[in-house]
Amino acid sequence: EGAKLPTRGSAFAAGYDLYACLDGDKELIIPPHATAMLPTGLSFALPEGTFGAVVARSGLASKQGLRPANCLGVIDSDYRGECFVALHND
């Protein structure tokens, strides 16, 4: 409940945008050089032999200094829990 489905930024976008699923109008502030685990409110059932990838968005990385903490997040095909994104503030 409250999760937003991933969307494509344009017809030719390489992937989908994920959104944080935060409580109400709560604002999240990630201090400099800190990492926060952001819930998406989503879980995925990916086909066997595939994986999902969470990669940095150029806008967030270059304009706001935010990136996935491990630079590339991997969602295994057998994982069935909620997808979280570890976001780091450079």
**CATH number, domain with residue 10:** 2.70.40.10
- What is the predicted pLDDT for the residue at 60? 76
- Residue for token digits 């409110």? 41
**Residue 57, token pair as written in the block:** 């968005």
pLDDT band at 46 (very low <50, low <70, confident <90, very high): very high
Question: For residues 43 and 45, what is the distance between their CA atoms, to the nearest angstrom?
Answer: 7
pLDDT band at 63 (very low <50, low <70, confident <90, very high): confident
Expressed as residue numbers, the domain containing 78 is 1-90
Percent of the chain with pLDDT over 90: 60
**Residue 6, token pair as written in the block:** 């991933």
Q: Residue 69 half-sphere exposure, CB side, CA atoms within 13 Å?
A: 13
**pLDDT mean over 32-55:** 94
| Beta bridge mates, 51 | 76
The domain tally of the chain equals 1
Q: Is the pLDDT of residue 47 over 90?
A: yes
